Amino acid sequence: MLMDYKGSVTVKIDGIAASAASVIAMAGSKVLMSPVSMLMIHNPMTAAFGNSAEMQKAIDMLGSVKDSILNAYEIKTGMSRTKLSHLMDAETWMDANKAMELGFADEIMKRTVEDIETPAVSMMYSKAAVVNSLMDKISTKCKIEKTTEPEKTGRKVDDLYDRLNLMKF
C-alpha cells in the first residue's frame, strides 16, 4: 500500500488478492489492479474442536467475521449486503475488469516500457551470453603473441579435417 501526502491510501494489486488479502485491499481509498491480477472473495472459515457449545461459539464467531467482511466490501463497492453475501457464498474470483465493474477496484493499472525498471543484475538465462562469455575467457587465456613468422609444417588442411572427423562419434 502506498500513502500519499494527504493521508489517503492507494492499494496496488499486481498478483492475487484472495481471501483476507481482498479484505485488506478494501482499506484503500483507491484500489488499482494490474490487468493480469485477480481478486477473490469467500465466506470466512475456521477449524473447531470440542463439544456442541464450542461448535456454537465457532459458528457465532464466523457470523461476526462475515458481518465485518461484508462491512468492508459494502463500504468500498456500495453493493447490497445480500448481493455481497451471495458472491461470498459462491467463492467469487474476479479479474481486474470484473472487480472494477463490481466496485472492488477503482482503476486498472497501465504499464509502459518506460515504467518498468531494468534490474541491475539480470537473472535470465541466455545461451548466447553464456557462449560469448566462455569464448571471451578462452580467447583471453589462449592469446598467442606473434613475434615471428609462424613455422610451416607442410601439413594439408584436408588431412587435418580427416583426422578431426575420425574423432567424431
Question: In this structure, what C-alpha cell is assigned to residue 103?
Answer: 466496485
| pLDDT, position 151 | 66
CA distances from 35 to 40, 70, 109 (A): 15, 25, 7
Predicted TM-score (pTM) of this structure: 0.63
Q: Which CATH superfamily is domain 2-111 in?
A: 2-enoyl-CoA Hydratase; Chain A, domain 1 (3.90.226.10)
State the Cα–Cα distance between residues 12 and 37, nearest whole angstrom: 10
Q: Hey, how many other C-beta atoms are within 10 angstroms of the C-beta on 32?
A: 21
Dump pLDDT digits (tens) for 4-41.
556 689 999 999 999 999 999 999 999 999 999 999 99
Dump pLDDT digits (tens) for 46-78.
999 999 999 999 999 999 999 999 999 999 999
State the Cα–Cα distance between residues 150 and 49, nearest whole angstrom: 88
Dump pLDDT digits (tens) for 102-127.
999 999 998 766 666 766 665 666 77
Identify each DSSP E strand in 42-116 by its residue range.
Answer: 92-95, 107-108
Backbone torsion region of residue 144, taken as left when φ is above 0, otherwise alpha when ψ lies between -120 and 50, otherwise beta: beta
Chain-centroid distance, C-alpha 3? 22
Helix or strand holding residue 135 (H, E): helix 127-141
State the Cα–Cα distance between residues 158 and 87, nearest whole angstrom: 78
